[in-house]
Amino acid sequence: MESYEKRTWWSRHDLSKRLQSPAFLEAAVTTAFLVAASDGSASEAEQDALLDRLEILGGVDRDAIDEQLTAVAQKLEASGFEPLIARVDELTDEADGEAVMMLGLAIALADDDFSNDEREIAGQLATALGLTLDLDKLVAEIRG
């Protein structure tokens, strides 16, 4: 039986195919990490969820994801959120923006907490990507 994600938002955004693009993968990992880390740290549950989802549903090598997570964490510590948000914008086109945001929100929800800080960074990312999103609606869709 297919997972809930494969039957719903994951397949609607064609994420398994999109994740084959190195630019999209970088944008997705960066977005997910930024949203998850915005409340002080990306929890182990959030990092495990990202690794699991991308490996199983996206067919992405776990080691490659882990390397990208390490790089994003180092850049965040060195430069803060703004340059990484700008990088996500550089990497995505209009069609990829909502898909990147859905993945980022799904990871942020992995620990069953969508804090105000996570909501704030998600909003900044959406604005940078030129998206007008109802975060509550997207969170409800992801939670099923």
Q: Could you read off the pLDDT of 33-53 as tens digits, one per residue?
A: 898 888 776 667 767 777 777
Report the C-alpha gap between 53 and 38 in whole angstroms: 20
Cα–Cα separations (whole angstroms), residue 21 to 10, 34, 111, 126: 16, 20, 27, 20
Please say whether the structural domain 4-143 has been given the CATH code 2.60.40.1180.
no
For range 134-141, the mean pLDDT: 83
Report the C-alpha gap between 79 and 82 in whole angstroms: 8
pTM of the model: 0.83
Domain ranges of the chain: 4-143
Q: Could you read off the pLDDT of 86-96 as tens digits, one per residue?
A: 999 999 987 88
* pLDDT for 43: 62
Question: Is 35 exposed, middle or buried, given 0-12, 13-18 or 19+ CB atoms closer than 10 A?
Answer: buried
| CA neighbor of 60 nearest in space, from 21, 92, 118, 109 | 21
* Of 34 and 69, more confident: 34
